[in-house]
């Protein structure tokens, strides 16, 4: 069962990817994790990626795809995997499709966790992070016992720059320009399924399990 998670930043696709991985016993693969593992392991592709990242440049698609193909060739991916954060663009999707085809494989599902922009701005604006221990909270959905203070270590919580409305809006603009076309791409591939991401996360997960049908 090979699954791609789609959705805007803050839609909750990472949370759902983890739940899918846990339920079906398949790896949750994010590009961030792959980069970190390759850089830490000192692989050739990892060093290439690091050289671009150190210069503040985007890692070229061929390097990213090389690392991804290496990762999905590992034994724990034999029964499938959940991709989170890749592909982000049509060229990446086309390269992934072509590379899998060469191996006699294809993706089975592309699941779009659909949340309107205004709901994402509200949702992310409510996030709070502890710079001390890294714990994260939400003023509505996962509040602390004492307002503005971390339950775990007692330090003050902050609204990260990433979660400020103006930053979120910029990230959404990039998403709509680059990533949303993937929805049409996977619709044409016949594997797109959409779930309502504004529901409670357990309800969203229930809908995903119904789509996967096992």
Q: 109: part of which helix (H) or strand (E)?
A: strand 109-114
What six digits make up the tokens of 163? 């979660």
* Cβ–Cβ under 8 Å, residues 52 and 60: yes
* Residues noted as catalytic: 13, 88, 127, 160, 171
- Residue with structure tokens 């797109």? 192
Place of tokens 């990039």: 174
A 10 A CB-CB count for 98 gives 10
Structure token digits, residue 147: 């307002």
Q: How far apart are CA 25 and CA 154, in angstroms?
A: 36
Do 16 and 30 touch, CB atoms closer than 8 A?
A: no
Structure tokens at 201: 């996360």
CB 1 within 8 A of CB 209: no
**How far apart (Å, rounded) are the C-alpha atoms in residues 145 and 159?**
17
């Amino acid at each position: 069962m090979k699954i791609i998670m789609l959705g805007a930043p803050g839609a909750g696709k990472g949370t759902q990817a983890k739940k899918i991985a846990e339920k079906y016993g398949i790896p949750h693969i994010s590009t961030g994790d792959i980069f970190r593992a390759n850089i830490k392991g000192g692989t050739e592709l990892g060093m290439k990626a690091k050289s671009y990242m150190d210069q503040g440049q985007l890692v070229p698609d061929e390097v990213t795809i090389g690392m991804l193909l290496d990762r999905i060739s590992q034994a724990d991916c034999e029964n499938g995997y959940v991709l989170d954060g890749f592909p982000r663009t049509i060229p990446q999707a086309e390269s992934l499709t072509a590379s899998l085809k060469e191996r006699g494989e294809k993706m089975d599902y592309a699941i779009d966790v659909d949340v309107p922009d205004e709901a994402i701005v509200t949702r992310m604006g409510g996030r709070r992070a502890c710079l001390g221990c890294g714990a994260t909270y939400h003023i509505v959905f996962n509040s602390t016992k004492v307002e503005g203070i971390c339950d775990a270590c007692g330090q003050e919580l902050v609204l990260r720059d990433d979660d400020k409305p103006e930053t979120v809006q910029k990230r959404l603009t990039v998403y709509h320009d680059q990533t949303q076309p993937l929805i049409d791409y996977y619709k044409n591939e016949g594997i797109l399924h959409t779930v309502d991401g504004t529901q409670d996360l357990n309800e969203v997960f229930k809908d995903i399990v119904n789509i996967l049908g096992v």
